[in-house]
Structure 1
Amino acid sequence: MKFSVFTASTPEWTPQEAATELAAQGWHGIEWRVTDQAEAASPGFWSGNKATWPMTGLEGSLPEIARLTSGAGLEYSGLGGYARCDNHDDVERLLAATSALGARQVRVNVLPLGNSTMGGQEPSGLPYPELFAATREHYEWVAERAAHHGVKALVELHHGTVTASASSALRLLEGLDPRHVGVIHDLGNLLIEGWESPLPALQLLGPYLAHVHVKNARWVPTKNHDPAGGAIWASEWAPLAEGIGNVVTYFKALAEAGYDEWVTVEDFSTDVPLAERTAGNLDFLRRAASLAGLTVAGSADSLPKG
């Protein structure tokens, strides 16, 4: 098993700082965030993120991405793209960039639910069956183009989309070539929507289980109530060791399902400073993997120093 960090969760670092810091801490790889984002007065996960490569002009950035990644001795666990499957032009560019970098796999987003406001967009109001059918049609095209480029397009299990669960993702991809399409199983997202017991869900995905994201979340009561007086709860991101999801149990499920590839961390909690957070997460993941009977690959610097 190898560990990497998705740079959506390292907003305060420049690409150079992210690569240097993560390599020094002992991470095996990096998953670069690729998207055009809004500017912000201070760095944030979703806007003003310094460790994000813009989609605009991406092709011109590829030599620098390659230089920073290889120069730090890091591998790509994949690319964290944001292009939706119905944006064929940007998907084609992401697939080509993934191939050029040798990054092997890239996230290609599915369509949001009709009542979703993801990305600040107005809800489409379209019914789920219509959105699911459209996503399948687009992903048939995505699979063909991924095969052309010799890479794999990844569907993430994500709340507010047509593939919140492993079951829905399998329905979407079934019959397509698992060499060129696959699923990102995401512990944290599933705590918000789409939860299925991890082991059977992982087994269900079979050859489509291509990648794993790990973060954690918790549900907290708000001060608000619905018109009938019922409590209203909200989800929030939590440190890896403090959320609802138990990482050791999750890793045991991964081991039993036969998954021993990349695990990418995207920790959106802010309880501790970034450098301390990433170093602590790597230490925690190594302990969890050991307890689950998983073998962790060596890295350029092996264990974190100090």
Structure 2
Amino acid sequence: MTDWKFSYFTCATPDWTPAEAVTNLAAQGWDGVEWRVTDDPGADTVGFWAGNRATWPMTGLEENIPAMRATAADAGLEVSGIGAYANCHDREGVERVLAATAALGVRQARVTVPGVGDAETYPEVFDAARAAYAWVAERAAHHGVKALVELHHRTVTASASSAMRLLDGLDPAHVGVIHDMGNLVCEGWERPKWAAQLLGEYLAHIHVKNALFVQTGTDPDGTVNHEPKMVPLQSGQVDLRTYLAEITSTGYTGWITCEDFSTELPLAERSAANLAYLKECAP
């Protein structure tokens, strides 16, 4: 059995307030929490990306640092990272996120990269993001923290290979990669063992969720259309037992952070079942 620690990203706990999230997660046996930090747009109903109650706002972030620290600590949980949404080109936002991460005593925070618009080309957007991330790396070093780029569909780092190109030559002490197999089902699939070997010291964090492609319709010419759907950890196209074994074989010993966006089970039942399953899967 590995000595991994398991945390939950509060983007995936929208029903709970931050205090409720850590209380419930601690009771279930989770080791840590990854805080969602953004100005939630709000909604009439609770949702993962709008109306998420387990979110710390970007507006007033600095004033919330003591509460963010105490809320997790009072429940006996560590903070595995900051799941922020500041884009690498947003210098003011990135600076605030990195400074807040340092003030919290947290090691790492996500700094996002863009996708490619219809009027743009991948090379030009990628080159601009690489230049921006060089600045991000400098600021992360200044604050003594690490900025993480996530492998995410519809961005310029949809795969480990593209993330490695983005970060190559930057200090892995201050920039790294979030490997996310659920996102890679949608776009960017590479064998986990090879991806981890490629990333080496840049592999800094793991997000765990699962997905599969479902049929959404058929065109008049018979073409079958599919779209990815987030599903429970056991139900998707990723064999998590094999995935965790392959990552382990490369020497990774960092956090395993769950962000299950399925809705078949109520949140409390879902999160408890996820921890039991991850512990069962861990080599």
TM-score scaled by length of structure 1: 0.90
- The structural deviation recorded for 1:230 is 1.1
Tell me what 1:281 maps to. Answer: 274
Within the candidate set 61, 86, 89, 1:86 is matched to: 89
- The structural deviation recorded for 1:95 is 0.0
- The structural deviation recorded for 1:228 is 4.1
Say whether residues 1:29 and 2:41 are aligned partners: no
Q: Secondary structure at the match of 1:160?
A: coil
Say whether residues 1:62 and 2:86 are aligned partners: no
CA deviations 1:135-171 (Å, max 9, x no partner) are 0010000000000000000000000000000000000
Within 1, Cα distance between the matches of 2:51 and 2:185?
27
CA deviations 1:72-110 (Å, max 9, x no partner) are 110011000000000000000000000000111000001
TM-score scaled by length of structure 2: 0.98
Say whether residues 1:195 and 2:224 are aligned partners: no
CA deviations 1:218-277 (Å, max 9, x no partner) are 10111242x643111011000001111011000111111111110100000000000000
Within 1, Cα distance between the matches of 2:253 and 2:179?
13
Say whether residues 1:103 and 2:106 are aligned partners: yes
Within 1, Cα distance between the matches of 2:167 and 2:113?
11
* Aligned length, in residue pairs: 280
Within 2, Cα distance between the matches of 1:228 and 1:102?
57
Within 1, Cα distance between the matches of 2:139 and 2:215?
45
Unaligned runs of at least 5 residues, structure 1: 116-124, 293-306
Instruction: State the AA in 1 paired with 2:233.
Output: L
- The structural deviation recorded for 1:2 is 0.5
Tell me what 2:233 maps to. Answer: 240
Within 2, Cα distance between the matches of 1:130 and 1:67?
43
Q: Secondary structure at the match of 2:22?
A: helix
Q: Secondary structure at the match of 1:223?
A: strand
- The structural deviation recorded for 1:20 is 0.4
Within the candidate set 68, 74, 78, 1:75 is matched to: 78
Tell me what 1:122 maps to. Answer: none
Q: Secondary structure at the match of 1:155?
A: strand
Say whether residues 1:41 and 2:44 are aligned partners: yes
Within 2, Cα distance between the matches of 1:32 and 1:172?
25
Instruction: State the AA in 1 paired with 2:206.
Output: V
Tell me what 1:296 maps to. Answer: none
What does 1:113-152 correspond to in 2, within 5 Å? 113-115=116-118, 125-152=119-146
Say whether residues 1:207 and 2:210 are aligned partners: no
Q: Secondary structure at the match of 1:270?
A: coil
Instruction: State the AA in 2 paired with 1:80.
Output: G
Within 1, Cα distance between the matches of 2:29 and 2:265?
19
Within 1, Cα distance between the matches of 2:177 and 2:108?
11
Q: Secondary structure at the match of 1:172?
A: helix
Within the candidate set 252, 276, 281, 1:259 is matched to: 252
What does 1:167-206 correspond to in 2, within 5 Å? 167-206=161-200
Instruction: State the AA in 2 paired with 1:110.
Output: V
Q: Secondary structure at the match of 1:47?
A: coil
CA deviations 1:94-137 (Å, max 9, x no partner) are 0000000011100000111224xxxxxxxxx2100000000001
Q: Secondary structure at the match of 2:214?
A: strand
Instruction: State the AA in 2 paired with 1:101.
Output: L
Within 2, Cα distance between the matches of 1:139 and 1:229?
44
Q: Secondary structure at the match of 1:78?
A: strand
Q: Secondary structure at the match of 1:73?
A: coil
Tell me what 1:300 maps to. Answer: none
Q: Secondary structure at the match of 1:129?
A: helix
CA RMSD for the aligned pairs? 0.8
Within 2, Cα distance between the matches of 1:246 and 1:142?
34
Within the candidate set 4, 7, 12, 1:4 is matched to: 7
Within 2, Cα distance between the matches of 1:82 and 1:229?
40
Where in structure 1 do 4 or more consecutive aligned residues deviate above 3 Å? none
